[in-house]
């Protein structure tokens, strides 16, 4: 069984939490895109963990975790993340962490370039997390990067780095006027932070292909939502990789296999980190209360997230491009304080109502059309079946299901592993 668990919205839908829950029945969890620019929060009996690079299955001893070729890996960040987990008692060995030999290494100069460019842009900045993700993906497609597999041939690294730095310093030094970066310093960095992962380097195409052929259950874990996809998202306010499910087998390393199931994680309201169009955004007291209720602060950066009501237009589009076969609605409990629940049911573009998700200038100019649903005003975090939910909460879940045209299989009513409802 090959299952992708993907975000329907702008990210932070609770993917980490759902992967943690669903991975109980799975043998392998594979991350297929992105780097340490976003964070998953997982709360279980061992504590609260924020994972930026490692797949969420790392918290289970019997789950194998794969970091696929579609990922960009900041080795220093990975080194620190692994150390933090080990300090908390999590065992991490090459038996249950496999890093693709084709994954790209995010180097210190990628992070530097990210910062230099955001500074140059000043008030026109894109709201990059400054983790070097756009520069490293750009270099990947320029075919000028170091990949994990290169570490298996250390004798070739000095020359490779010398060539790379000669090219890179044209930008860093001659372009931005920053001090040039020496190949020696990059070699030292690789030796310190990347080399310790040599025992973990794996041909994930072989590994996953064999696992799939042997009937193993594999989860593909996305790190960002549909609306951050480089092709289908709110470009240029997107990430630099493909976040959608169709890319999962490629980014994980088994392009020869097809997905059996795509679980779309959809939040019961909206949140968005950073700049860019966010039509359903709520401001003032209404927004502040929702942000507080939902604890909407970035897991990786601590930044307050922008918030809004559930966005029918964006979520229907997200569900479509993900090809979701079922949905998990998360954070329903957060809405319990509301007497009237705001829902963005349509957009208005140039004075014309539309239910289609626009792009570019039209998206930037779209205005939300809000309707209000009756709230339930009672705690639902203890509910474990649909019938236990208050009637208005049931109606709300059914409304979400119909509005995006995809069956809801799970409803999450709290951050803890067992706080959820199985619908069928």
Q: Which residues of the chain form contacts with ligand GDP (CB under 6 A)?
A: 7, 11-17, 38-41, 43, 295, 299, 330-331, 333-334, 412-415
Q: Which does 69 bind (CB under 5 to 8 A by kind): ligand GDP, Mg ion, none?
A: none
Following DSSP, what letter does each residue of 115-160 receive, concatenated?
HHHHHHHGGG-----SSSHHHHHHHHHHT---BGGGGG-GGGHHHH
Q: Which does 333 bind (CB under 5 to 8 A by kind): Mg ion, ligand GDP, none?
A: ligand GDP
- Determine, following the binding rule CB under 5 A, whether residue 296 of this chain makes contact with Mg ion: no
Distance in Å, CB of 286 to ligand GDP, minimum: 19
Complex with Mg ion: residue 17 or 140, whichever CB lies closer:
17
Residue 217, class by beta-carbon neighbours within 10 Å (0-12 exposed, 13-18 middle, 19+ buried)? middle
SS3 content of the chain, % helix, strand, coil (to 5): 40, 25, 35
373 preceded by a cis bond (ω within 30 of 0): no
Q: Which does 267 bind (CB under 5 to 8 A by kind): ligand GDP, Mg ion, none?
A: none
Distance in Å, CB of 70 to ligand GDP, minimum: 17
Complex with Mg ion: residue 12 or 401, whichever CB lies closer:
12
Least Cα distance to 59 among 68, 47, 69, 72 occurs for: 47
Complex with ligand GDP: residue 204 or 336, whichever CB lies closer:
336
Q: Which does 13 bind (CB under 5 to 8 A by kind): ligand GDP, Mg ion, none?
A: ligand GDP
Distance in Å, CB of 414 to ligand GDP, minimum: 5
Residue with smallest beta-carbon separation from Mg ion: 12
- Work out whether strand 40-44 and strand 47-51 pair parallel, antiparallel, or are unpaired: antiparallel
Complex with ligand GDP: residue 245 or 349, whichever CB lies closer:
245
Catalytic residues: 12, 40
- Determine, following the binding rule CB under 5 A, whether residue 20 of this chain makes contact with Mg ion: no
Distance in Å, CB of 311 to Mg ion, minimum: 18
Which of the ranges 32-40, 208-216, 311-319, 376-384 carries the binding residues for Mg ion, by CB under 5 A? 32-40
Least Cα distance to 423 among 396, 378, 379, 387 occurs for: 387
In contact, 67 and 104? CB cutoff 8 Å: no
Complex with Mg ion: residue 100 or 223, whichever CB lies closer:
223
Beta carbons within 8 Å of 37's beta carbon, 6+ residues apart: 52, 129, 131, 133, 223, 224, 239, 300
Residue 174's Cβ-side half-sphere holds a number of Cα atoms within 13 Å equal to: 7
Complex with Mg ion: residue 38 or 345, whichever CB lies closer:
38
219: β partners: 3, 29
Q: Which single residue is written with the structure tokens 């401001």?
A: 283
Residue 154's Cβ-side half-sphere holds a number of Cα atoms within 13 Å equal to: 10
Q: Which does 313 bind (CB under 5 to 8 A by kind): ligand GDP, Mg ion, none?
A: none
Residue 178, class by beta-carbon neighbours within 10 Å (0-12 exposed, 13-18 middle, 19+ buried)? middle
Distance in Å, CB of 96 to ligand GDP, minimum: 20
Distance in Å, CB of 381 to ligand GDP, minimum: 7
| Max Cα-Cα span within the chain | 67
Q: Exactly one of 3, 12, 63, 319 binds Mg ion (CB under 5 A); which one?
A: 12
Which positions touch Mg ion (CB under 5 A)?
A: 12, 38-39, 299
């Amino acid at each position: 069984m090959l299952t992708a668990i993907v975000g329907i919205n702008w990210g932070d839908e609770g993917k980490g939490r759902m992967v943690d829950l669903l991975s109980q029945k799975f043998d392998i969890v594979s991350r297929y895109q992105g780097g340490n620019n976003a964070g998953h929060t997982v709360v279980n009996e061992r504590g609260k963990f924020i994972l930026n690079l490692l797949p969420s299955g790392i918290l289970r001893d019997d789950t194998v975790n794969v970091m696929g070729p579609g990922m960009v890996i900041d080795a220093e960040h990975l080194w620190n993340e692994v150390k933090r987990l080990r300090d908390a008692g999590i065992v991490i060995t090459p038996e249950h962490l496999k890093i693709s030999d084709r994954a790209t290494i995010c180097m210190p100069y990628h992070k530097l370039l990210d910062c230099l460019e955001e500074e140059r842009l000043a008030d026109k900045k894109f709201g990059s997390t400054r983790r070097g993700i756009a520069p490293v993906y750009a270099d990947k497609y320029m075919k000028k990067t170091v990949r994990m597999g290169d570490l298996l041939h250390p004798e070739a690294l000095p020359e490779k780095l010398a060539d790379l730095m000669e090219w890179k310093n044209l930008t860093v030094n001659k372009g931005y006027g920053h001090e040039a970066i020496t190949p020696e310093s990059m070699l030292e960095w690789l030796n310190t932070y990347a080399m310790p992962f040599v025992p973990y380097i794996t041909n994930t195409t072989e590994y996953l292909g064999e696992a799939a052929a042997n009937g193993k259950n594999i989860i593909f874990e996305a790190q960002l939502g549909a609306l951050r996809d480089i092709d289908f998202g709110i470009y240029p306010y997107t990430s630099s990789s493909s976040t959608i499910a169709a890319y999962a087998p490629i980014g994980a390393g088994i392009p020869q296999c097809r997905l059996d199931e795509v679980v779309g994680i959809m939040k019961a309201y909206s949140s968005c980190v950073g700049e860019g169009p966010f039509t359903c955004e709520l401001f003032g007291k209404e927004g502040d209360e929702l942000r507080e209720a939902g604890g909407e602060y970035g897991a990786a950066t601590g930044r307050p997230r922008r918030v809004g009501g559930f966005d029918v237009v964006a979520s229907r589009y997200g569900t479509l491009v993900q090809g979701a076969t079922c949905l998990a609605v998360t954070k329903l409990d957060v809405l319990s304080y509301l007497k009237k629940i705001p829902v963005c049911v349509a957009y208005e573009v140039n004075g014309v109502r539309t239910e289609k998700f626009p792009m570019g200038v039209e998206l930037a100019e779209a205005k939300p059309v809000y309707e209000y649903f009756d709230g339930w005003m009672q705690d639902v975090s203890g509910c474990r079946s649909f019938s236990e939910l208050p009637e208005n909460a049931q109606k709300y879940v059914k409304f979400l299901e119909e509005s995006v045209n995809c069956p809801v299989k799970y409803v999450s009513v709290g951050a803890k592993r067992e706080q959820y409802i199985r619908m069928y």
